[in-house]
Amino acid sequence: MTRGAGIGRVSPRFGVFVVALATLGACGGGGSGGASGGPSYVQGSDVPATDADAACFLTQSTFGPTHDDIDLLRFIGYAAWFDDQRAKSVSKERPYVNALDAAGKSLSQNHRMQIWWDNALTGDDQLRQRVAWALSQIFVISDQHSSLSGDVKGLCEYYDILARDAFGNYRKLLEDVTLSPQMGMYLNMLRNEKADPAYNIRPDENYAREILQLFSIGLVQLAVDGTPLLDGLGATIPTYDQSVVEGFAATFTGWTFADAKNWWDWEGSTKPMVNWPDYHETAAKVILNSVVVPAGQTGEQDLALALDTIFAHPNVGPFFSKLLIQRLVTSNPTPAYVGRVASVFDDDGTGERGDLFEVVKAILMDDEARNGHLTMPATFGKVKEPIVRQTQLWRALDAKAKSGKYKVYWPDYYFGQAPLRSPTVFNFYSSTFSPPGDLADNGLAAPELQIATHSLIALGTNEFYDLVFWGNSDNTNDDADTVEIDLKPLKPLAVDPTALVDELGLLLMAGDMSSAMHQVLVDHVAATPITDGGTQRVLEAVYLIVTSPEGAVQK
Amino acid sequence: MKTSNSFSRRRFLRYGGSTASLAMLAQLTALQRTVSAAPAGGYRALVCVYLYGGNDAFNLIVPTSNAQYTTYATSRQGLAVPLAQLLPITPATSTGVNYGLHPSVPELQTLFGDQKLAIVANLGSLVAPLTKTEYESGAVERPPQLFSHSDQGDQWMIGGAVSQIQKIGWCGKVGENLASLNPGSVMSMNISLDGSNTMQMGATKAPYNLGANGPTELSGFWGSQGALRKQAFDALRNQAQTNKLSQGFADVMNESIAIEATISAALASGPTIMTPFPSSWLGEQLSMVARMISVQSAVGQTRQIFFVGKGGFDTHGNQNAEQPALYADISQCLGAFQAAMEELGSDADVTLFTASEFGRTLSSNAQGTDHGWGAHHLVLGGAVGGGDLYGTMPDLALDGPDDIGGGRMIPTTSVEQYAATLATWFGVAPGDLATLFPHIGNFASPTLGFV
């Protein structure tokens, strides 16, 4: 394996600190960088040793490494980088669609997709955006649901909740998700009413079941390291039964749109749902672990007790931590890794339970995340989500359309994946999916391979062909909305195939390219004529990397 | 109200489960059909239509006799289909109870009348036959994780009420059991039009995923530079990978490329099917299945299992508005598919069946229904003993003998029996059923005789 070194170049976005870095480098470090008008950064001590180490971290923690971000991280170090990311203002979707709405535009999901790409690609709150994307695959709602297909503002508001709460407390996130009217519509807690035995009506169980199964504790009792607890016969132990689901279903009654004039109004709000006492079940309910929700409480009191009870369950730490590790770092974390992160979920060191910022930090700074590619090269990592493979390409090569817009509306058609567009609440893939053969035989999960079907892998590969060979800055035939990767910084390297492959290998594969792959690429680039200033050579190398088996996996 | 004796599960039987003589008769009937329907060495296909979300089949097939309809309407309240709207059907085997179909499915009514469509009653995941008393006492083991979409879906697809880490589906196992019938075929016997699914997952082979518009050829390898690029692309995908995830990705890519050319060429040479299909997602998938069946000799497989899917059946909310459209699509698509099979002269070789993770509650949550257990299913084709009901209709009374609460019906026939019947018609030896279906020996009759 070779981890290639980056090449030197001037950073446009962090120009101020790069100057400072050069100065500091010359005088041996120490002191603070920056000048008036730019961000001020202090050189840190916990810096990645190489550009490749930095790129590896940024591949896990952002929508794709750029040279600017590599340089910044190598200057300020990990701890300061996390604090810097936490301090960034939240890139939101609502302001964009609100402005369109105010200007009289008829909103569609295309507008939501556009602002999603914009934030993912250009937002400087990259860690928050990447975590929000991960959360959107755990706390799933989807525009494929009939109630949400036209609710552009509602879906944008929901995504903004995930981004806003990404570094807050899990309990707050759980409550905000629960009271979102979009989640209410998606899983039917909205207008869920108390039982009416005369008409054989009982409370809706959809949200009650899925908040337990998918958002918090899962189906079976877990040890802190995420492995299932077993009974005396060696069988797994269910976390709840049907009666618990019915208890939560009754607890979650009486909620509907804020500002609704009548219970049955379809008011269409994006504000948190409110409780209508007439529709709330006030009899006592038994929920998880035999906790009794007392009779006579308000809907708000019942909800608080229900969410507190879920939050207190020992499964939440390992269950949620493992899902988040799988979205960010690796499909097959060791139990010890899950256990270390779950311990931080249980107590962030200050006694706080559910501190998501510290959980994210624990996930990314764990020794397994930082060195798994070295210690477990055969099994560590994850197949890149195809959407993220595209954002990595576009961020690395600073892709832009002349119109300034990212009009990418239906990636689900060729990738099987798009933001808030899962076919069901079970996300695009199962966290336990394991294709037959070597992976299943070794008990290895590969969730993202569930959408790498024979059909989608061909469609996706062809999409990357178009993204590269059509969507580039030397294509003079494309229109103003074609997003173009910027070939200018790369073309000077085309005369030196090794330098070109190393540069792309750093950005697109965190420098972790096998020597066999490296050789194929160098030979192919060298065999490609360079009569066009290097355009063709660059395109060839980019395309082959992003469509290759090694390039498709994040390690 | 109570139901009449003629409606009890013991009395309403057709090869359903509790007496040995009927079970033997069922097997004999199935054997006769096997012999008569297609000579050994001929082509056969199974087509699974999976209804994602859990289909509320108690509104698809409704008793219309006075006492039974009253029980149904009392349980369902605002969800009940009005009696006058139901489309009457006349099962060949009379049980003394009349039935009707939902008003949105006239094509299914015709197919049933023409004896091409069979209804299998109240199927679900079971470890063993189970009474309400046994359910409540725990005397008989329950399937794990009842009422969970993912788990009950897996159990339907595995063909067994078990919890597996490596999920191997019953169609995947059938594909491996009968692999010798497709000698030399690179492509799996299992072909999915609707992405990955557990039902077709084998121990060693995943299903081939075919797009509803056919397979996709990789673009951009034309011209001399394209040929050069293809060499490098092929070299990279064929390199041995250190990382098993990379190898997994390469394996899918390599299979996709290896199979595409054969299928594309076969489809290009196929006949034009005149039967129009609905433009829905289900219609598009079944249209491609029909095209694949039309060119099966060029593809070179004598056994194929197709999987198509349709979502939207998790009708917790807005059920009365959404259910008619869901049913109408099924009806129109199944009608078109059967017509296309007859056009191709393949109808005796192709058996279509429905599957869905569970039925739904008879009771309501005011807007729809919640996760239940047993549900009726449909089997269609020229080899099917159509125009009849198979298995045992449940008592639809809330808190009745089949209801474990809220109108969740204990299945009266197991998914394993249903799958074993289909597998047997497809060519699996009766002696192999026990290796495919873990609990089949717990049921008096391993097969149900509907095909």
A456 contacts in chain B (CB < 8 Å): 195, 209
B228 contacts in chain A (CB < 8 Å): 524, 527-528
Q: What is the pLDDT of residues A389-433, one digit of tens each?
A: 999 999 999 999 999 999 999 999 999 999 999 999 999 999 999
Q: How far away is chain B from the Cα of A480, in angstroms, using its nearest Cα? A: 23
pLDDT, residue A39, reads 66
Residue B392: which of B444, B355, B354 has the closest Cα?
B444
Residue B37 lies in a domain: no
pLDDT, residue A13, reads 40
Burial environment of residue A372 by CB neighbours within 10 A (0 to 12, 13 to 18, 19 or more): buried
Q: Is B252–A430 a contact, with Cβ atoms under 8 angstroms apart?
A: no
pLDDT, residue B404, reads 96
B196 contacts in chain A (CB < 8 Å): 429, 433, 450-451, 453
What is the pLDDT confidence band of residue B41, given thresholds at 50, 70 and 90?
low
pLDDT, residue B2, reads 30
Q: Is the pLDDT of residue A324 over 90?
A: yes
C-alpha radius of gyration, chain A, whole number: 25
Q: Is A200–B77 a contact, with Cβ atoms under 8 angstroms apart?
A: yes
**Among the ranges given (A11-25, A142-156, A497-511, B298-312), the one the predictor scored with the smallest mean pLDDT:** A11-25
Interface test with B, best of A217, A455, A545 (most B CBs within 10 A): A455
Q: Is the pLDDT of residue B38 over 60?
A: no
Share of chain B above pLDDT 70, in %: 91
Q: What is the pLDDT of residues A329-344, one digit of tens each?
A: 999 999 999 999 999 9
Q: Is B145–A219 a contact, with Cβ atoms under 8 angstroms apart?
A: yes
Residue B450 lies in a domain: no
A443 contacts in chain B (CB < 8 Å): 165-166
pLDDT, residue B26, reads 42
CA distances to A525, B334, B338, B387, B428 from B110, rounded to whole Å, are: 64, 11, 11, 10, 31
Q: What is the pLDDT of residues A49-64, one digit of tens each?
A: 999 999 999 999 999 9
Give the pair of three-digit tokens for residue B217: 């050829």
Q: What is the pLDDT of residues B312-323, one digit of tens each?
A: 999 999 999 999
Interface test with A, best of B72, B243, B364, B410 (most A CBs within 10 A): B243
Print the domain residue range for B204: 5-32+42-442
Cα separation, B256 vs B289, in Å, equals 18
| φ/ψ of residue B253, rounded to 5 | -60, -45
Share of chain A above pLDDT 90, in %: 92
At B76, which CATH number? 3.40.720
B219 contacts in chain A (CB < 8 Å): 462, 465
Longest dimension (CA), chain A: 83
- Burial of A206-232, coded b for 16+ CB within 10 Å and e otherwise, reads bbbbbbbbbbbbbbbbbbbbbeeeeee
| Strand segments (E) across A192-332 | 255-256, 274-275, 285-286, 292-293
Contact (Cβ atoms closer than 8 angstroms) between residue A512 and residue A441: no
Cα separation, A345 vs A330, in Å, equals 18
Give the pair of three-digit tokens for residue A424: 């069901």
Cα separation, B399 vs B407, in Å, equals 7
pLDDT, residue B12, reads 31
Query: A386-396 vs A497-509: helix axis angle to the nearest 10?
Result: 130
Q: Is the pLDDT of residue A386 over 60?
A: yes
Cα separation, A50 vs B189, in Å, equals 49
Q: Is A423–B217 a contact, with Cβ atoms under 8 angstroms apart?
A: no
Higher pLDDT pick, A372 / B27:
A372
Higher pLDDT pick, B297 / A304:
A304
Q: Is B239–A514 a contact, with Cβ atoms under 8 angstroms apart?
A: yes
B42-51: average pLDDT: 97
Residue B451 lies in a domain: no
Residue B239 lies in a domain: yes
B324 contacts in chain A (CB < 8 Å): none
What is the pLDDT confidence band of residue B17, given thresholds at 50, 70 and 90?
very low
- Residues 133-162 (A) with a CB less than 8 A from some CB of B: 144, 146-147
Residue B202 lies in a domain: yes
A459 contacts in chain B (CB < 8 Å): 211, 216
Spell out the alpha helix ranges (H) of A273-409.
Answer: 299-312, 316-328, 335-346, 356-365, 367-375, 386-396
Find which of A270-274, B38-42, B162-166 is predicted with most confidence, using mean pLDDT.
A270-274
Cα separation, B159 vs B177, in Å, equals 15
Of all residues in chain B, the one with the smallest CA distance to A209 is B148
Q: Is the pLDDT of residue B21 over 70?
A: no
Q: Is A528–B228 a contact, with Cβ atoms under 8 angstroms apart?
A: yes
ipTM over 0.90: yes
Q: Is B365–A188 a contact, with Cβ atoms under 8 angstroms apart?
A: yes
User: Interior CA angle at B205 toward B199 and B207, to 5°?
Assistant: 50
Residue B116: which of B96, B89, B95, B143 has the closest Cα?
B89
First to last CA, chain A: 12
Mean pLDDT, chain A, rounded, equals 93
| Side chain identity at residue A354, one-letter code | G
C-alpha radius of gyration, chain B, whole number: 22
Using the structure block, give the residue that is written with the tokens 């059907």.
B89
A490 touches chain B (CB under 8 A): no
- Rounded-to-5 percentages of helix, strand, coil across chain B: 40, 15, 45
| Side chain identity at residue B441, one-letter code | G
Cα separation, B230 vs B236, in Å, equals 10
Contact (Cβ atoms closer than 8 angstroms) between residue B401 and residue B430: no
**Among the ranges given (A449-453, B13-17, B159-163), the one the predictor scored with the smallest mean pLDDT:** B13-17
Q: Is the pLDDT of residue B14 over 90?
A: no
Q: How far away is chain A from the Cα of B79, in angstroms, using its nearest Cα? A: 10
pTM over 0.90? The answer is yes
Q: Is B248–A435 a contact, with Cβ atoms under 8 angstroms apart?
A: yes
Q: Is the pLDDT of residue A553 over 60?
A: yes
- Residues 319-338 (A) with a CB less than 8 A from some CB of B: 331
Q: Is the pLDDT of residue A10 over 60?
A: no
Residue A499: which of A534, A472, A447 has the closest Cα?
A534
Q: Is the pLDDT of residue B359 over 60?
A: yes
pLDDT, residue B165, reads 78
Burial environment of residue B163 by CB neighbours within 10 A (0 to 12, 13 to 18, 19 or more): middle
A460 touches chain B (CB under 8 A): no
What is the pLDDT confidence band of residue B29, given thresholds at 50, 70 and 90?
very low
A192 contacts in chain B (CB < 8 Å): 365
Per the structure, the count of domains in chain B is 1
pLDDT, residue B6, reads 33
Higher pLDDT pick, A436 / A19:
A436
pLDDT, residue B135, reads 96
Contact (Cβ atoms closer than 8 angstroms) between residue A423 and residue B311: yes
Q: How far away is chain B from the Cα of A205, in angstroms, using its nearest Cα? A: 6
Q: Is the pLDDT of residue A12 over 70?
A: no
Contact (Cβ atoms closer than 8 angstroms) between residue A240 and residue A298: no
pLDDT, residue B249, reads 98
B205 contacts in chain A (CB < 8 Å): 436
A202 contacts in chain B (CB < 8 Å): 363-365, 406
User: Interior CA angle at B335 toward B331 and B337, to 5°?
Assistant: 120
